[in-house]
Amino acid sequence: MNNVSQTAPSRPHTDRPQIPVRRPGLEYPVDRARRWLHGRVTTLVAHALSPLFPAGERFFIKSVMAFADEVKDPQLRHEMRQFAAQEAVHTHEHQKYDETVDHHYPTAFLEAQTAEILDQLWERVSGTRRGRRFALAMTVALEHFTALLGEQSLEHIDIYDGVDPQFAELWTWHAAEEIEHKAVAIDVYRHIGGGELERMIVQATATGGILFAMFMNIAVCMARDGIVFQPRAWAEVLRFLFIDPGPLTKAVPHYLDAYKPGFHPWDHDNRDLIEKWEARYPRVAEARRQQRSAQ
Ligand SMILES: [Fe+2]
Ligand SMILES: [Fe+2]
């Protein structure tokens, strides 16, 4: 127990990818949004996830930047700003996606519900340093989850073959950036003295929360289609999530790493997936090069 309750050193693995701010400027075709991913039921998983991002990522930004005054390390301060900027662009792009999908499913409603819950939570915890540290532990937990979803998305990048490029660019760009900035929240958490036991407890509860929210959103979208009580439709959703391609099953080994004291996301080096994505989606990769040359 002593090992678990101690803090781990912040910012190991200094050889990491950059965290550039890309602006893909996507516009989504309304008429193709309903089922852009090879079928209605699998597309519902994307529709259910997207409304969680705008409020979720605003919460992540607030919880990380709440400790800006306590972080003196210039590299970590730089990464915090880049993290916040990347997440702000994700929020913006997913709001556009949700507005487009809202012609078919109640994504604006789902987005507002998530915002209400997370805004209330932030109001309750942000008044004390301990509360803000708890919020940061939540962000650490959910960043681990989203980085693993991003990894799975790029591991199975072939699922985007033949889909409208705007949708493929949104989901693969977001996946790549979740990998790029996967360590920022945990580095800040350790820098400010966050403990391992608290991090692990919050990891477990936040994982339960995000899975519950995801399945609730899937059910709401299925209800709109009148298929929420159809076992075959649920079997298709579960097959997609757990079997083929099965991102939730395949992510389990790396997910469990978070329960090892001293765990760090870059213990698992998956930078090759970012390079694979850049080669496959050069338009967004070009935005990255323009930004680099402008610096
Ligand atoms: Fe994000
Ligand atoms: Fe993130």
- What pLDDT digit, counting tens, does each position of 122-178 carry? 999 999 999 999 999 999 999 999 999 999 999 999 999 999 999 999 999 999 999
Could you tell me the distance, in angstroms and rounded to a whole number, from the CA of residue 145 to the centre of ligand 2?
9
Could you tell me the distance, in angstroms and rounded to a whole number, from the CA of residue 29 to the centre of ligand 2?
26
**Is residue 6 a part of any domain in this protein?**
no
**pLDDT attached to residue 186:** 98
- What pLDDT digit, counting tens, does each position of 86-130 carry? 999 999 999 999 999 999 999 999 999 999 999 999 999 999 999
**pLDDT attached to residue 292:** 47
Could you tell me the distance, in angstroms and rounded to a whole number, from the CA of residue 285 to the centre of ligand 1?
17
Could you tell me the distance, in angstroms and rounded to a whole number, from the CA of residue 93 to the centre of ligand 1?
10
Instruction: Say which ligand is closest to the CA of 91.
Output: 1
DSSP string of 134-177, one letter each residue: HHHHHHHHHHHHHHHHHHHHHHTGGGGTTS-HHHHHHHHHHHHH
- What pLDDT digit, counting tens, does each position of 8-35 carry? 556 777 778 899 999 998 999 999 998 8
Instruction: Say which ligand is closest to the CA of 265.
Output: 2
**How far, CA to CA in Å, does 36 sit from each of 12, 28, 115, 244?**
40, 10, 26, 18
Contacts of 18 (CB under 8 A, 6+ apart): 82, 180, 292
User: Above 60 in pLDDT, residue 4?
Assistant: no
Instruction: Say which ligand is closest to the CA of 179.
Output: 2
Could you tell me the distance, in angstroms and rounded to a whole number, from the CA of residue 232 to the centre of ligand 1?
32
Say whether the peptide bond before residue 245 is cis (omega within 30 degrees of 0). yes
Alpha carbons 170 and 192: distance in angstroms, whole number: 33
**Is residue 281 a part of any domain in this protein?**
yes
Contacts of 284 (CB under 8 A, 6+ apart): 22, 24, 169, 172, 173
Count up the domains in the chain and report the number. Answer: 1
**Is residue 2 a part of any domain in this protein?**
no
Could you tell me the distance, in angstroms and rounded to a whole number, from the CA of residue 207 to the centre of ligand 2?
15
**pLDDT attached to residue 10:** 67
Could you tell me the distance, in angstroms and rounded to a whole number, from the CA of residue 275 to the centre of ligand 1?
18
Could you tell me the distance, in angstroms and rounded to a whole number, from the CA of residue 4 to the centre of ligand 2?
25
Could you tell me the distance, in angstroms and rounded to a whole number, from the CA of residue 235 to the centre of ligand 2?
29
With cut-offs at 50, 70 and 90, classify the pLDDT of residue 85. Answer: very high
Could you tell me the distance, in angstroms and rounded to a whole number, from the CA of residue 101 to the centre of ligand 2?
22
Alpha carbons 78 and 56: distance in angstroms, whole number: 22
Could you tell me the distance, in angstroms and rounded to a whole number, from the CA of residue 229 to the centre of ligand 2?
33
Could you tell me the distance, in angstroms and rounded to a whole number, from the CA of residue 226 to the centre of ligand 1?
31
Instruction: Say which ligand is closest to the CA of 184.
Output: 2
- What pLDDT digit, counting tens, does each position of 197-231 carry? 999 999 999 999 999 999 999 999 999 999 999 99
Q: What is the mean pLDDT of residues 251-278?
A: 96
Compute the Cα dihedral for 237, 92, 98, 139 and give only its sign.
positive
Could you tell me the distance, in angstroms and rounded to a whole number, from the CA of residue 179 to the centre of ligand 2?
8
- Which CATH number belongs to the domain containing residue 86 in this structure? 1.10.620
Q: DSSP code of 96?
A: H
**pLDDT attached to residue 282:** 87
Instruction: Say which ligand is closest to the CA of 94.
Output: 1
Could you tell me the distance, in angstroms and rounded to a whole number, from the CA of residue 57 to the centre of ligand 2?
7
**Is residue 272 a part of any domain in this protein?**
yes
Determine the structural domain holding residue 169 and report its residue range: 37-294
**Is residue 212 a part of any domain in this protein?**
yes
Alpha carbons 88 and 57: distance in angstroms, whole number: 7
Could you tell me the distance, in angstroms and rounded to a whole number, from the CA of residue 251 to the centre of ligand 2?
17
**Is residue 28 a part of any domain in this protein?**
no
**Is residue 30 a part of any domain in this protein?**
no
**Is residue 176 a part of any domain in this protein?**
yes
Instruction: Say which ligand is closest to the CA of 173.
Output: 1
Structural tokens at position 24: 């893909």
User: At 292, is the secondary structure helix, strand, or coil?
Assistant: helix
- What pLDDT digit, counting tens, does each position of 45-75 carry? 999 999 999 999 999 999 999 999 999 999 9
Name the residue type at position 181. Answer: H
